[in-house]
Structure 1
Amino acid sequence: MTHDRTPEACDLLIEAGWVVPVVPHGVVLEDHAVAVRDGEIVAVLPTREARARFDAAETVSRPDAALIPGLVNAHTHNPMTLLRGIADDLPLMEWLQGHIWPVEGAVMGPEFIEDGITLAIAEMLRGGTTCANENYFFPDVQAAVYKQHGFRARVGLPVIDFPTAWAKTSEEYFERAGEVHDQWRDDPLVATTFAPHAPYTVSDENFERIRMLSDQLDIPVHLHTHETAHEVSESHAKLGQRPIARLDRLGLINDRLIAVHMTQLTDAEIALCAQRGVSVVHCPESNLKLASGFCPVGKLVKAGVNVAIGTDGCASNNDLDMFGETRTAALLAKAVAEDASAFDAATALHAATLGGARALGFEAKIGSIEPGKQADVVCVDLGQIETQPLHHVVSQLIYATGRHHVSDVWIAGRAKLRERMLVDMDAAALVANARQWRERIAAIRLT
């Protein structure tokens, strides 16, 4: 005699034409479902079995969609969405010193941070991004805004060797960093990282202090480095060392380092990063736009270095489109390596999801669709004209899909985008607010 098993309760059952879990690598599960309870993935199984096993409070059926892990934007300056397009087609130092820093100096403050990040969150959600690694000032405001909108983030604790609106002295940068870290140390969505700006703007003494505190607090160090040939040659001329050699001398080349850009690398430096467990964040579109150089992604992956993808800020990209960024990364890697098989579609998707999660130290929580992880997941509609015919799901995601194909987004099991509509953000108000910032910034630049 058989007894029907009582269905298990779950909060959400997402049924998809294809589930792309990222782990195992390159696998696509056809007609599968993901069950979510208390914000966590509890099962990944064929849709028919899921319907028999679970009694879901809500079922979302997307037979033409691929369900993927939420994209992780591993390097952002999200308040800079409000500076999108103010100084284009300029080299890095002229762009930074002649345009960006003067405008920032005039507008920097809690209101600018809050409004810029809110606009960025909306843009990221509409593009399937569910987590950002933030690097900017006023991390206390940043953290509060990410938390308010239920968006996952690592918030950088800035350290730079000159006064800003956030802090005036090295002592104040560290004191304020400690306060923000203490406030957010146990939050399920928002965590912190040290964010020294770059080797050319941070002293040995401050780097040593960061390394010590990073070890004590067990948080990463998020750093622009080896961004341009000029940065590397200037370091050699002034200090007799390339930046990576200097950072190694100071104890920072380790598995907590999130090294951003890395366009100027020797084979020995790549081997050192692999040996020490450094994560490299590749920002191809910003590097292309500022003519900063080419990150040797193919060599990094072959050496076993963890590679993540970042958009950088909207002032140098000019968008937060992780689908576009990942496609650019995949194509550029092939050209740089002179190898069409370099950084294939599955590897690129891994970099945009689990690679980013690993760089941030979030790999136990997010980055793949596995039981026990947080339900940070995204539906991508592959039923449209632009994605037909569908021969290979992962290739289509990287080479044919745009962010406009994202239909639904969940973070920790909570719906943030439903059938292309933001669930709890007012799109018209966001646009109106961005327009008033345009007027304010234009007035500043005229004076």
Structure 2
Amino acid sequence: MLEPCDLLIEAGHVVPVVPHAVVLPDHAVAVTAGRIMAVLPIAEARARFRPAAVISRPQHALLPGLVNLHCHAAMTVMRGLADDLPLMRWLQEHIWPTEAAFVGPELVQDGITLAAAEMLRGGVTTVNDMYFFPDVAAQAFARAGMRATIGLIVIEFPSAWAQSPAEYFDKGLSVYGECKDLPGIRFAFAPHAPYTVSDESFERIRVLSDQLDLPVHVHVHETAFEVDDAVRQRNERPLARLKRLGLVNSNLIAVHMTQLSDAEIQLVGEQGVSIAHCPESNLKLASGFAPIERLRRAGANVAIGTDGCASNNDLDLLGEIRTAALLAKAVAQDAAAIDAAYALQMATLNGARALGLDAEIGSIEVGKSADLITVDLSRFDVLPVYSAISQLVYASNRRDVCDVWVMGEPRVQDGALCHFDPNALAELARRWGQRIAAR
């Protein structure tokens, strides 16, 4: 008698990520109750299972959903607002004034709705987000059917969300208590950066992170100016300060990390720090070049993020993988640095590991959640396919994503979003553009 299953996904190339660099030709993944039951050749799957539904993708790659390890999702409404400017001028003259004028529950709700649709359509099933109004963000991502780790923002200056460090902590912990049981929603502490957060706040974050076992998601060593300014003001580099405060450990998600000494690379490797590498944002803002091949060799967990739409200007993680792989070769002056298989691992298993989710997502393994995507490799401008992994990294783009499942539930089918109206999304984005431009 055939075993029942909810869904059988058949693909010409299954890329499980674990084992590393393996491609399984003509394989199927069986899913029941949102979890992976089996990974086996298609002929064996048809002989074993009686699926309620079958998705056949003979010219596609099936792989784990992508993990975006650093994003300011609500900033989709600021896409293209202030291009071609250095970081501090971009922040101080354009982004922070715009946020002061417009940030509130409405912007966060609408911006995340746009971002979730964009990411899901591009194969991103999990995001690590940092922004204001984490209560609104948690609800918005849950409604979108997307996994999200929501940053409990901490910063020393007042905002529309909170007026003091004490209020950031109080409100953040309240949101954590109220929303931590939402499906697919987890939390991290999100101190903005060493130059905007006090020692006292960092010390409290360290204690709470240890107590609640939550990651700490923070911009670190983003620019040479940031590092030099810290040395001038404190006679201490930002990473050394975080080490002194007890935050350099496996719970730390350090974003950008473009300015590193040999000793700092060794430190983060030894401590198992996760690096959220954002190559396109770093390039656009001329922030510098993260030495990710050296970080990888040192033992750091190198993953990848898009940053926000105001500094990228998209949430295309497949495109980010390609940029990361190519840039790493140039920085390392080694064509073998960050090969295609590791680049894909950065966007899947390594991102999951940074968020403490590697037992649940990030690879196609029996027992894990069915967070899966298919990518079309049949077009003439992708063919021929000598290596599915190489094509995914070096030739594919987000518009090749065909199907997306989160926890076994369809979010994209045949390239179409399941629960969003693209015309309504476009109109929403246009309305925000008009409001912000009018200011």
Task: Please say whether Structure 1 and Structure 2 have the same fold, judged by a TM-score greater than 0.5.
Answer: yes
- Identity of aligned pairs, percent? 62
Pick the aligned partner of 1:62 from 28, 38, 57: 57
Distance in 1, matches of 2:361 and 2:183, equals 12
Answer yes or no: is 1:315 the counterpart of 2:333.
no
Report the counterpart of residue 12 of structure 1 in structure 2. 7
- For these two proteins, the number of residue pairs brought into alignment is 439
Pick the aligned partner of 2:120 from 95, 114, 125: 125
Pick the aligned partner of 2:171 from 170, 176, 180: 176
Pick the aligned partner of 1:208 from 203, 214, 227: 203
Read off the aligned partner of 2:198 and give its amino acid letter: S
Read off the aligned partner of 2:185 and give its amino acid letter: V
1:186: Cα distance to partner? 3.2
State the Cα deviation string for residues 247-292 of structure 1 (Å, max 9, x = none).
0000000110000000001111111111111100100000000000
Answer yes or no: is 1:223 the counterpart of 2:206.
no
Report the counterpart of residue 367 of structure 1 in structure 2. 362
Report the counterpart of residue 75 of structure 2 in structure 1. 80
Read off the aligned partner of 2:410 and give its amino acid letter: A
Report the counterpart of residue 280 of structure 1 in structure 2. 275
CA contact (8 A) 1:78 1:120 kept: yes
Pick the aligned partner of 1:244 from 222, 239, 257: 239
Distance in 1, matches of 2:389 and 2:299, equals 22
SS of structure 2 residue aligned to 1:387: coil
Report the counterpart of residue 378 of structure 2 in structure 1. 383
Read off the aligned partner of 1:22 and give its amino acid letter: V
1:424: Cα distance to partner? 1.1
Distance in 2, matches of 1:375 and 1:224, equals 31
Distance in 2, matches of 1:267 and 1:363, equals 29
Structure 1 unaligned spans of 5+: 1-5
Answer yes or no: is 1:256 the counterpart of 2:251.
yes
Distance in 2, matches of 1:386 and 1:397, equals 12
Distance in 2, matches of 1:21 and 1:34, equals 10
Distance in 2, matches of 1:297 and 1:142, equals 30
Matches within 5 A, 1:32-43: 32-43=27-38
Answer yes or no: is 1:160 the counterpart of 2:132.
no
Report the counterpart of residue 145 of structure 1 in structure 2. 140
Read off the aligned partner of 1:59 and give its amino acid letter: V
Pick the aligned partner of 2:180 from 181, 185, 191: 185
CA contact (8 A) 2:142 2:183 kept: no
State the Cα deviation string for residues 384-416 of structure 1 (Å, max 9, x = none).
112111111111110000111101000000010
State the Cα deviation string for residues 153-193 of structure 1 (Å, max 9, x = none).
00000000000000001111000111111123334400010
SS of structure 1 residue aligned to 2:203: helix
Read off the aligned partner of 2:176 and give its amino acid letter: H
Read off the aligned partner of 2:121 and give its amino acid letter: R
Report the counterpart of residue 48 of structure 1 in structure 2. 43
Answer yes or no: is 1:430 the counterpart of 2:409.
no
Distance in 2, matches of 1:109 and 1:386, equals 43
Distance in 2, matches of 1:312 and 1:300, equals 20
Distance in 2, matches of 1:54 and 1:152, equals 29
CA contact (8 A) 1:184 1:192 kept: no
Distance in 2, matches of 1:155 and 1:403, equals 24
Distance in 2, matches of 1:270 and 1:185, equals 34
Distance in 2, matches of 1:270 and 1:408, equals 38
Answer yes or no: is 1:114 the counterpart of 2:109.
yes
CA contact (8 A) 1:296 1:336 kept: yes
Distance in 2, matches of 1:188 and 1:350, equals 25
CA contact (8 A) 2:135 2:179 kept: no
Distance in 2, matches of 1:81 and 1:216, equals 33
State the Cα deviation string for residues 129-153 of structure 1 (Å, max 9, x = none).
1110000000000000110111000
Report the counterpart of residue 262 of structure 2 in structure 1. 267
**What TM-score, normalized by structure 1, do the two folds share?**
0.97
SS of structure 1 residue aligned to 2:347: helix
Structure 2 unaligned spans of 5+: none
SS of structure 1 residue aligned to 2:276: strand
Structure 1 runs of 4+ off > 3 angstroms? none
Read off the aligned partner of 1:440 and give its amino acid letter: R
1:8: Cα distance to partner? 1.2
SS of structure 1 residue aligned to 2:214: coil
SS of structure 2 residue aligned to 1:388: coil
Report the counterpart of residue 134 of structure 1 in structure 2. 129
Answer yes or no: is 1:415 the counterpart of 2:410.
yes
Distance in 1, matches of 2:230 and 2:65, equals 38
Report the counterpart of residue 300 of structure 1 in structure 2. 295
More displaced stretch, 285-294 vs 236-245? 236-245
Distance in 1, matches of 2:380 and 2:95, equals 40
Pick the aligned partner of 1:235 from 210, 230, 234: 230
Distance in 2, matches of 1:339 and 1:438, equals 43
CA contact (8 A) 1:7 1:52 kept: yes
Report the counterpart of residue 3 of structure 1 in structure 2. none
Distance in 2, matches of 1:46 and 1:397, equals 21
1:246: Cα distance to partner? 0.4
Read off the aligned partner of 1:230 and give its amino acid letter: F
Report the counterpart of residue 339 of structure 1 in structure 2. 334
CA contact (8 A) 2:14 2:27 kept: yes
1:211: Cα distance to partner? 0.3
CA contact (8 A) 1:300 1:307 kept: yes
CA contact (8 A) 2:152 2:190 kept: yes
More displaced stretch, 197-206 vs 353-362? 353-362
Distance in 2, matches of 1:147 and 1:108, equals 20
Read off the aligned partner of 1:328 and give its amino acid letter: T
CA contact (8 A) 2:360 2:368 kept: yes
**What TM-score, normalized by structure 2, do the two folds share?**
0.99
SS of structure 2 residue aligned to 1:14: strand
